[in-house]
Structure 1
Amino acid sequence: MRKSIATVSLSGPLSEKLTAIATAGFDGVEIFENDLLGAPLSPEDVRLRCADLGLGIDLYQPFRDFEAVPADVLARNLRRAERKFAVMERLGADLLLVCSSVAPESVDDDALAAEQLRLLADRAAAHGIRIAYEALAWGRHVSTYDHAWRIVEQADHPALGTCLDSFHILSRGSDPKGIADIPGEKIFFLQLADAPLMAMDVLQWSRHYRCFPGQGGFDLAPLVAATVRAGYQGPLSLEVFNDVFRQAGAASTAVDALRSLLLLEESAGLSALPVAAAPSGFAFAELTAADTEPLRGVLESLGFAHTARHTWKPVELWEQGDARILLNTGVGVGGSAGDRRQGPALTAVGVETPDPDRSARRAEALLAPVVPRRRGPRDAPLDAVAAPDGTEFFFCRTEQTDHPSWTGDFTGVGPRALLGEGAGEPANAVRRIDHIALTQPWHQFDEASLFHRGVLGLEADDSHDLADPYGLVRSRAVASHDGGVRMVLNIAPAPDAEGSRLQHIALATDDIVGAARRVREHGTGLLPIPANYYDDLDARHELDAQHLATLAELGILYDRDERGEFLHCYTATVGRVFFELVQRTGGYRGYGAQNAAVRLAAQHLHQH
């Protein structure tokens, strides 16, 4: 289906918005009146610009407070409408959005509303223009889509139809099944927006917190499917009012918007994308720095061994159990000069997948930028795409596939710290990477959630707000169904907050006490945790006194739920990176969110 977006969804002047919309790959655009009024371009200039960019002008909006008003107000409204029709003719737009009235002078009279809308449609038809009547969720007398349709049906004019808006429908809890009662040819337009589920005034909710499909709590797929089944043949169009989007770059927001529509089409059964090959585990995590010596010391204290180096790039492979860390002093496999200047940073993640080629095809179909890679003649043909925050994700083969392995690009320099899970392996060994946490740029949290869910095939949990000494950290976990790949996406309380771009790698062990003692004995400090935490822990959980003392001695945090227990501790931060040791028992699937406030406070204190 055609894909469109309202200019109000993006930041910047109208000319930049149109360029971003076309570059992202949209077919059409809704021109929001305020964008046109503030533009130095004439309507004719906008029309030509859209034509040059290959964009159709699908809708001009909004026209407010028209129907069910006294005769003198109607006369003024019709004069206002004629002026809008003249502008639309200059734009080359033939569909006008009319919102249900919120004016105090409007009356609760469907017959009068239908009569006046019929008159408006008759005037519009003389200009070759149609009217799409939409129910605002906060409309004075018309606030539901089925009520708006009854008025359109009563007006019975060929140039008058209805506009369905997912936010206005779902924010009121209306059942989209009723869309089946509307003839498809009378559904003139479909506007789409998601939103987080919030208990607040619906007008403020709409004006500030809408987001793209798949980023909120609404189930949009059934609504879209019902509209198409009814016979709707117009575009899928996004109309999103969001304070963050209106401050972020238009180009990246437009790409995120189109990706959301592609995923919505897939979930509504309207199109087919390459099926996600769900990742089964982490192949590696890559750390980039001009000087990796501090990281080598931390890795050695954690029990890792330097086992191999890349055949021609300045990249070292460090291993323990099934956990693999790459240390990169150049651009190498992933990363940038900018990341090296900032000190150690996590720049790339390898995920194991049963079908790397299919994973790459899906990523490209969903507009994920392909990472250019310097490749030697014998290097494995690894495909990689960039996440919204710039982290590069490489699709690596699992042991069960015949896709060339990335490990073939390395030559051995020493024995592995541990050669698998054989007998005699110490309990305090690191087994694998448990999860990776990435702090996102302040304006890309929702975009990152959609990327990891749609492109990588991970399942998203609800987002949480975690207390930080300087505000709140918003956090959301995404994971594969079996937990083989777990990612935690965070956003710091402010763009320039200290530690706003911290990243960390969590390493799983079966004996966190032994692993923590090994780190401490090696001379690498663990993050100290205040004694007050353990006093509170003793009050909340009846832990053995000696066990509690051991946790306090080593700075180990504790959490549990109905499935099991979670113990974890942290190394000091090197550059932007720190490590976490974790031990899960039973079926615990969380990340110790209960302890996040204490950890964040301790890190801020330690950095000072």
Structure 2
Amino acid sequence: MKTSIATVCLSGSLVEKLHASAAAGFDGVEIFEPDLIAGDHSPEEIRALARRLGLTLDLYQPLRDLEGVDEATFTDNLRRAAATFATARRLGIQTVLVCSNVATATVDSDEVSAGQLRRIGDVAQSYGVRIAFEALAWGRFIDDYRRAWRVVELADHPAVGVCLDSFHVLSLGHDPARITEIPADKIFYLQLADAPALTMDVLSWSRHHRLFPGEGAFDLTRFVSCVLATGYDGPLSLEVFNDTFRQTDPRHTAVHALRSLTWLQDKVAAANPEGWRPDLTTLAAAKPPTAFDFVELKAEDTSEVEVLLGQLGFTMRGRHRTKPVSLWSAGDARIVLNEQQARDRVPHVAAVGLQVPDAGATTARAAQLMAPVAYRRTYASEQPFGAAVAPDGTEFYWIPEAHGVPEWVAEFDGGIPETEPCGVRAIDHANLTQPWQTAEDTVLFLRSVFGLTPDAPAEVPGPTGLVRSQVMRTEDGAIRIPLNVAPHVLDHSGLAQHVAFSCSDVVGLARRAADRGLAFLPVSDNYYDYLRGRFGLGADEVAELRALNLLYDRSPDGHFVHFYTRTVGSVFFEFVQRFGHYDGYGTDNAPVRLAAQRVGAGTVRP
């Protein structure tokens, strides 16, 4: 289907926004009136630029507060509308968005609103344009798409139709099913936005927290299915008000936006009978990953991490035959230490490897979703990986799932075999700290390329502010990737990343690591006093936890014991054991960890 994006979604001047939209691959744009009037290019110049870029100009918006008013006010509104229609004609735009009145409406009457829309339609028609009437979620009288359609029906004018906006429908919990009762030729425009589940006034929610499809909590698949069931064949257009996107590179945001529409079309096609709407874009069917293959840490000097891994029972399996890279493993957990092209870099999570059922399908899907390819020099004797770069810069690799040791491990020589199990089973989760400007983009990347689904977000209080956490995972929990967004007062390096390993005996592993000289992340005595009171643990059990700096959590389904290492560079390790059906991450213990890490980083002590 034809894709479009409102210029309000992007940062920069109107000219920059048009260039970014065209470069990303959009078919058209809707012009946000403030973008035009703030610029120094005439409507004719904007029209010519769009033509050169291969973009259609699909909508001019918004025209506000016209209907539901007394006659004297409406007379002036007609004058204002005529001026807007004249500008739209100069731009070559045939559809103008008219929002339901939120400020000046004084007459709560469908018949009055319909009569005034009919007269506005007459003026619009004289300029060769039509109006798409939209029920704003905070409209004074008309805040429901069903009432907006009733008013348009009463207006009964060829130049008057409706605009359906997913935010205004779904934010109020309105059922989109009755959209199917609207004739396709009366749906003049469709605007799409996702949003997180928030409890706040709907105007602020709309102005600051809209997201691109796939990043929020709205059921856009059902919403779009209802619209397309009518036979609507106009653009799928994005209208996203978001403080982050208005501050970031418009070229990046435009690609991000088109990825969301591509993913959404595929979801809608999959949710309906095959061939139902052949104009929808579909993606290569790639099943979600089944296991972590490895995590790569990169630094100019990885020796400190090597010492840490040795204390934790990992075995050095060898150095790569062509690169300054070593492999360490324990059970099915593999850590790659990379010193290649890492001058002046401290240890950090550089890459995550995933095992997938069909690597070729994942590669094709990533390409369709415009995921940037991660470059990896590969020689003839080495196993090729599928590769993409996530929005935060982390590289993701995927290889065919292995039943046993993956083939690429044979590229490492000179190591020693794992003589006895250390108690580590596998990688439990990889926690990737996100810059504030890429967090939503990374959610969409992991959801669209790998089929991960988001858990409900959480907020963790830390010494410098709230840390927002969003876990992306497979349904079975084989892949878990928490995304943590640091407070804005910190830069990206202000919150360390970490890799967590599942264990068969976390207490025994901690004891052996202590014997080898491991410096645990110290936990305050206050925590253990609190722990005993909260969960009713026995004195001996609490003493054992305290002696090894272990943390504890419990849910109705089981309990959880875990510990952290100190941070090396910008990465640390966590070792976890899940008992019963515990499926969480010890979230209530995160403030304790954050406070201890801040003290360990050298902040002033009393």
SS of alignment partner, residue 17 of structure 1: helix
**Take 2:24 and 2:247, find their aligned partners in 1: how far apart are those partners?**
18
1:446 aligns with 2:448: no
**Where does 1:146-165 land on structure 2 (aligned, <5 Å)?**
146-165=146-165
Describe the shift of the 1:40–1:341 C-alpha distance in structure 2 as closer, same or farther (beyond 3 A). Answer: farther
2:327 to 305, 311, 317: 317
SS of alignment partner, residue 246 of structure 2: coil
1:584 to 565, 574, 578: 578
In structure 1, the partner of 2:107 is: 107
SS of alignment partner, residue 482 of structure 1: coil
Describe the shift of the 1:149–1:551 C-alpha distance in structure 2 as closer, same or farther (beyond 3 A). Answer: same
**Where does 1:203-602 land on structure 2 (aligned, <5 Å)?**
203-269=203-269, 270-331=280-341, 337=342, 340-399=343-402, 405-408=407-410, 410-418=411-419, 425-426=420-421, 428-494=422-488, 496-497=490-491, 499-602=493-596
In the TM superposition, residue 481 of structure 1 has moved relative to its aligned partner by 2.0
In the TM superposition, residue 499 of structure 1 has moved relative to its aligned partner by 4.7
In the TM superposition, residue 385 of structure 1 has moved relative to its aligned partner by 0.4
In the TM superposition, residue 568 of structure 1 has moved relative to its aligned partner by 0.8
In the TM superposition, residue 112 of structure 1 has moved relative to its aligned partner by 1.9
**Take 1:515 and 1:196, find their aligned partners in 2: how far apart are those partners?**
40
**Take 2:9 and 2:489, find their aligned partners in 1: how far apart are those partners?**
21
In structure 2, the partner of 1:35 is: 35
Letter in 2 for 1:584: R
Q: Is the 8 A contact 2:326 2:412 kept in 1?
A: no
Instruction: Quote the RMSD (CA, aligned, Å).
Output: 1.7
In the TM superposition, residue 407 of structure 1 has moved relative to its aligned partner by 2.5
Listed one character per residue, the Cα deviations across residues 286-336 of structure 1 (whole Å, up to 9, x for unaligned) are 1111111111111111111211222211111111111111111114xxxxx
In the TM superposition, residue 577 of structure 1 has moved relative to its aligned partner by 0.6
Q: Is the 8 A contact 1:356 1:396 kept in 2?
A: yes
SS of alignment partner, residue 355 of structure 2: strand
In the TM superposition, residue 401 of structure 1 has moved relative to its aligned partner by 11
Q: Is the 8 A contact 2:528 2:546 kept in 1?
A: yes
1:606 aligns with 2:571: no
Letter in 1 for 2:165: D
**Take 2:26 and 2:139, find their aligned partners in 1: how far apart are those partners?**
30
Q: Is the 8 A contact 1:478 1:488 kept in 2?
A: yes
Letter in 1 for 2:392: D
Q: Is the 8 A contact 1:100 1:134 kept in 2?
A: yes
Which runs of structure 1 show a deviation greater than 4 angstroms over 4 or more consecutive aligned residues?
A: none
**Take 2:587 and 2:31, find their aligned partners in 1: how far apart are those partners?**
43
In the TM superposition, residue 560 of structure 1 has moved relative to its aligned partner by 1.4
Aligned length: 592
Q: Is the 8 A contact 1:438 1:501 kept in 2?
A: no
In the TM superposition, residue 606 of structure 1 has moved relative to its aligned partner by 1.2
Letter in 1 for 2:192: L
**Take 1:315 and 1:439, find their aligned partners in 2: how far apart are those partners?**
24
**Take 1:115 and 1:341, find their aligned partners in 2: how far apart are those partners?**
70
Query: Once structures 1 and 2 are overlaid, which stretch shifts more, 69-78 or 551-560?
Result: 69-78
Listed one character per residue, the Cα deviations across residues 451-505 of structure 1 (whole Å, up to 9, x for unaligned) are 1122111121000000111110000111122222111110011253585342101
**Take 1:447 and 1:96, find their aligned partners in 2: how far apart are those partners?**
30
**Take 1:584 and 1:417, find their aligned partners in 2: how far apart are those partners?**
24
**Take 2:552 and 2:86, find their aligned partners in 1: how far apart are those partners?**
68
Listed one character per residue, the Cα deviations across residues 400-423 of structure 1 (whole Å, up to 9, x for unaligned) are 599x93324x132122325xxxxx
**Take 1:369 and 1:501, find their aligned partners in 2: how far apart are those partners?**
25
In the TM superposition, residue 32 of structure 1 has moved relative to its aligned partner by 0.2
**Take 1:229 and 1:249, find their aligned partners in 2: how far apart are those partners?**
36
**Take 2:64 and 2:182, find their aligned partners in 1: how far apart are those partners?**
23
Q: Is the 8 A contact 1:491 1:500 kept in 2?
A: no
**Take 1:548 and 1:17, find their aligned partners in 2: how far apart are those partners?**
59
In structure 2, the partner of 1:421 is: none
In structure 2, the partner of 1:50 is: 50
Q: Is the 8 A contact 2:373 2:389 kept in 1?
A: yes
**Take 1:233 and 1:497, find their aligned partners in 2: how far apart are those partners?**
45
1:184 aligns with 2:187: no
Q: Is the 8 A contact 1:212 1:240 kept in 2?
A: yes
Listed one character per residue, the Cα deviations across residues 488-524 of structure 1 (whole Å, up to 9, x for unaligned) are 1100112535853421011121111221122222223
Query: Once structures 1 and 2 are overlaid, which stretch shifts more, 363-372 or 66-75?
Result: 66-75
Listed one character per residue, the Cα deviations across residues 361-394 of structure 1 (whole Å, up to 9, x for unaligned) are 1111112111122221222121100111111110
**Where does 1:96-135 land on structure 2 (aligned, <5 Å)?**
96-135=96-135
**Take 1:136 and 1:172, find their aligned partners in 2: how far apart are those partners?**
10
**Take 2:223 and 2:503, find their aligned partners in 1: how far apart are those partners?**
46
**Take 2:549 and 2:81, find their aligned partners in 1: how far apart are those partners?**
69
Q: Is the 8 A contact 2:33 2:62 kept in 1?
A: yes
Q: Gaps (5+ residues) in structure 2?
A: 270-279
Letter in 2 for 1:86: A
In the TM superposition, residue 161 of structure 1 has moved relative to its aligned partner by 0.5
**Take 2:412 and 2:427, find their aligned partners in 1: how far apart are those partners?**
22
Letter in 2 for 1:348: A
Q: Identity of paired residues, percent?
A: 51
Letter in 1 for 2:407: S
**Take 1:77 and 1:366, find their aligned partners in 2: how far apart are those partners?**
44
Q: Is the 8 A contact 2:300 2:345 kept in 1?
A: no
TM-score normalized by structure 1?
A: 0.94
**Take 2:426 and 2:144, find their aligned partners in 1: how far apart are those partners?**
52
SS of alignment partner, residue 354 of structure 2: strand
SS of alignment partner, residue 455 of structure 1: helix
SS of alignment partner, residue 472 of structure 1: strand
Letter in 1 for 2:208: H
**Take 2:564 and 2:103, find their aligned partners in 1: how far apart are those partners?**
58
Q: Is the 8 A contact 1:303 1:417 kept in 2?
A: no
In structure 1, the partner of 2:276 is: none
In the TM superposition, residue 439 of structure 1 has moved relative to its aligned partner by 0.4
Q: Is the 8 A contact 2:59 2:93 kept in 1?
A: yes
**Take 1:268 and 1:398, find their aligned partners in 2: how far apart are those partners?**
29
**Take 1:79 and 1:197, find their aligned partners in 2: how far apart are those partners?**
40
Q: Gaps (5+ residues) in structure 1?
A: 332-336, 419-424
**Take 1:398 and 1:138, find their aligned partners in 2: how far apart are those partners?**
50
Describe the shift of the 1:517–1:50 C-alpha distance in structure 2 as closer, same or farther (beyond 3 A). Answer: same
Listed one character per residue, the Cα deviations across residues 152-198 of structure 1 (whole Å, up to 9, x for unaligned) are 11111111110001111111111111111110100000111111122
**Take 1:231 and 1:249, find their aligned partners in 2: how far apart are those partners?**
36
Letter in 2 for 1:370: V
**Take 2:47 and 2:352, find their aligned partners in 1: how far apart are those partners?**
44
Letter in 2 for 1:321: G
Letter in 2 for 1:76: D
Letter in 1 for 2:17: K
In the TM superposition, residue 597 of structure 1 has moved relative to its aligned partner by 0.8
Describe the shift of the 1:495–1:4 C-alpha distance in structure 2 as closer, same or farther (beyond 3 A). Answer: farther
